[in-house]
A = this chain, B = another copy of it.
Amino acid sequence: MSVTAPRGFVASGLACGIKATGAPDLALVASAAGAVPAAGVFTANLAAAAPVQVSRAHLAASAGRAAAVVLSSGNANAATGAPGVAGAERMCALVGEGLGVGADEVLVCQTGLIGIPFPLPPVEAGIPLLVQARLADREAARRAATAIMTTDTMCKEVVVEAAGFTVGAMAKGAAMLAPNMATMLAVLTTDARCDPALLSGALRAAVEGTFNRMTVDGCTSTNDTVVVLANGESATAVGREALTDALGRACGDLAGMMAADAEGATKVAHVVVTGAVSDDEAHRAARKVADSALVKCSLNGEDPYWGRVVSELGSAGVAFDLDRVELSYGGVAVCRAGVAVEHDDKAVRDHMQGRAIELTCDLGLGAGTGAVLFTDLGYGYIDENRTTS
């Protein structure tokens, strides 16, 4: 159960032939009652893929309403020029025809390799079957979630029951896993009642606190997309805070599943920065540590070499005074006032040998806090990413 958990949503998934392996590669999530309030958060990459360009344009043209999201995996349809955009538009038009809604009431998400011409014929043949197969049950939702997987080893679905309304969501999460096809896509559905502006604000806040707080390698995909449809069928008119909270719980759970699916990694680490002059600076400092190849290698080697963390904090471009810095691994302080302190060496080494690593950095300057979830850098990452074949 996931995107079909809130009443009034249907889903489907099948193999149309984009993937040479014959694995499922085409999915649909739709509102049974036609266009409803919708919102999206898209990659900031200026080399945005065709589906990102098309979905942005459709949300603008429809004033924040959509009836369906069509998704495909196996080809990113990025750096594919005008034919790529025409292909993404054609997908929306075909879904619109099948559902009896306008093409600009359909959003599109794609994931896979960049720069390979998009194979439209199998998708054109598959969409009518996809539309016909749509159902409101849990198996249909599972088929949709399965069809967006790339290097994911498990299907990612979540349901959040809030006060008077439900949120369902699915995602594919290379985000922590195999940035070979680095895109993360997520589709959320809810029966909460809200207008497009409220929905858009809540989604943006939910993403900021979850997906934007994790990193593998600092790379920003051409295709990253999170979309939500809200059909109002619960009759619960939600406020900004309740909706942000529910969407945030769904996104947070999906982010956790991505971390758990980090096949190329041996550690999932959480770096918390406190004592920065602002939350923004704390977050930037945490991200600098999380994106550091040296820190990531240390985690892989289970080596609590805090000198590297200090060095990253000092070059993060934020206010910093080494004499005030305190660092801890798993709650055990290894550095205070910028210098090594006596500590329980065995406790730290035991912590480093676990899969979940907790690194805290107190800058001692103010009240700003921030945190980022990340992974180690080992042979697994290289094996996943050295070739596309």
| Chain A residues engaging chain B, CB cutoff 8 angstroms | 44-48, 76, 78-81, 84, 113-117, 179-180, 182, 217-222, 291-294, 297-298, 300-303, 305-308, 310-315, 320-323, 335, 337-340, 377-379, 381-382, 385-389
Selected contact of A339 from candidates B79, B298, B306, B310, CB within 8 Å: B79
Contact between B303 and A388, CB atoms less than 8 A apart: yes
Cβ contacts under 8 Å, A385 to chain B = 293-294, 297-298, 301
Contact between A219 and B377, CB atoms less than 8 A apart: no
- A293-B219, A293-B381, A311-B219 known; A335+B79 contact, CB < 8 A: yes
- 16 A-B residue pairs with Cβ-Cβ distance under 8 Å, sorted by A, are A46-B314, A46-B321, A47-B311, A47-B338, A81-B323, A113-B307, A114-B308, A114-B310, A217-B293, A219-B294, A222-B311, A293-B377, A294-B385, A300-B386, A378-B386, A379-B382
Cβ contacts under 8 Å, A337 to chain B = 81
Contact between A179 and B294, CB atoms less than 8 A apart: yes
Of all chain B residues, which has the CB nearest A114?
B307
Cβ contacts under 8 Å, A301 to chain B = 385-387
Interface of A is mostly: loop
Selected contact of A81 from candidates B84, B113, B298, B338, CB within 8 Å: B338
- Complex CA–CA separation, A307 to B306 (angstroms): 35
Of all chain B residues, which has the CB nearest A291?
B218
Contact between A79 and B117, CB atoms less than 8 A apart: no
Contact between A386 and B303, CB atoms less than 8 A apart: yes
Cβ contacts under 8 Å, A46 to chain B = 314-315, 320-322
Contact between B378 and A48, CB atoms less than 8 A apart: no
Contact between B294 and A182, CB atoms less than 8 A apart: yes
Contact between A47 and B315, CB atoms less than 8 A apart: yes
Contact between A220 and B311, CB atoms less than 8 A apart: yes
Contact between A292 and B382, CB atoms less than 8 A apart: no
